[in-house]
Amino acid sequence: MNKLQEVLKKIQPVDTSRTNAIQVQLDSLTKPQGSLGRLEELAKKYCLITGRDKPVIKNKIIFTFAGDHGVTEESVSLYPKAVTPQMVLNFLRGGAGVNVLARHVGARVVVVDMGVDYDFEPTPGLEIRKIGRGTKNMAKGPAMTLEEAERAVLAGIELVEKYKEGLDLLGTGDMGIGNTTPSSAIVSVITGADPEKVTGRGTGIDDQSLRNKVAIIKKAITVNNPDPKDALDVLAKVGGFEIAGIAGLVLGAALYKIPVVVDGFISTAGALIAAELNPLVKGYIIAAHQSVEIGHRKMLEHLEQAPLLDLNLRLGEGTGAALGMSLVEAGVKILGEMATFAAAGVADKKEETIKK
């Protein structure tokens, strides 16, 4: 049995046996029952995933996976692929959107080179896990080999293994010019949706370019004939190295019982692959937001996830994940810091007030 299969076998379902006990805790706080809505839901989910009763979230990391895509040869993006390494360097300097929002919520950003067509110098905050210098053009053949796909997924799992000590919360992010094209192909194959229904404008392409993008996705699916029941086959034929790394990170989060806040369209493509490899990972995922990308809703439905936010975001990088992390932490703080009726001397039922 190879390492990936071992990981898939070891993942356990979220233990829900403490659900009622945590609900009693939440209901004892100085508020009407359920009045903090999804913040209470997040607190409960966090406790169930981690097995902790009154957790404190201190160590938060957003992993931003980067990779280039051969399909950019087909003019599917508004920007040239040279932007991928340029943005990675921007992340490392702390100047990108994800850096700003990560600082805002007190999270670290770790950038992961999964397959950028550029040689980066070793730098603090950079993990070089390069599988190749970008994928091949999926419109002409498989984006990568099965062996490369598996190695890329394992790289994501290994990152969780490396950073798991004291890690309270994970977030996903991405960077890769052209990567909405493989993401649309992945959701189309796995869910059976027509590519036209799940393909958006990515970086902001015009109508003609969008029609071309849809045609390229249809061509890639026809040329490669990926098996919708074999997630690794789908990943290898129409995926991306950074998408594979995200899939691995989600699997690693489930393996080590760490909640993972999944960002937008590309990150959710990775989560979709992870959940097809082992459906139990759905219990460990927190969907940060609903992206503008039209295929994202289909992905979230397939993963049985209700997004926390809908802010018309479409940047990626982990920006939505950062905001989602702040809400998870808010829910956990409510559970840990809010006074109970008994401690505050507040009556928790109308009858008690009348008796007094």
CATH number, domain containing residue 339: 1.10.1610.10
276-315 pLDDT, tens digit each: 999 999 999 999 999 999 999 999 999 999 999 999 999 9
What is the DSSP pairing of strand 169-175 with strand 260-262? Answer: parallel
202-225 pLDDT, tens digit each: 878 898 989 999 999 999 999 999
* Alpha-carbon torsion angle 210, 198, 250, 319, nearest 10: 50
Alpha-carbon gap, residue 28 to 289, rounded angstroms: 30
- The reply to whether 287 and 349 lie within a common domain is no
pTM: 0.96
- The reply to whether 314 and 345 lie within a common domain is no
- What would the two tokens of residue 342 be? 């008994």
Alpha carbon distances (Å) from 3 to 151, 155, 158, 201, 248: 10, 11, 11, 37, 12
What is the DSSP pairing of strand 126-128 with strand 285-287? Answer: unpaired
Indicate whether 350 pLDDT > 60. Answer: no
- The reply to whether 344 and 291 lie within a common domain is no
Across the chain, what does the average pLDDT equal? 96
- What would the two tokens of residue 110 be? 């770790």
**Does 350 or 121 have the greater pLDDT score?**
121
Backbone angles phi, psi at 194, to 5 degrees: -65, 135
- The reply to whether 178 and 252 lie within a common domain is yes
Name the active-site residue from 127, 317, 329, 352.
317
Residue-level pLDDT at 101: 98
Query: 40 an active-site residue?
Result: no
Indicate whether 354 pLDDT > 80. Answer: no
Q: Which domain holds residue 287?
A: 60-327
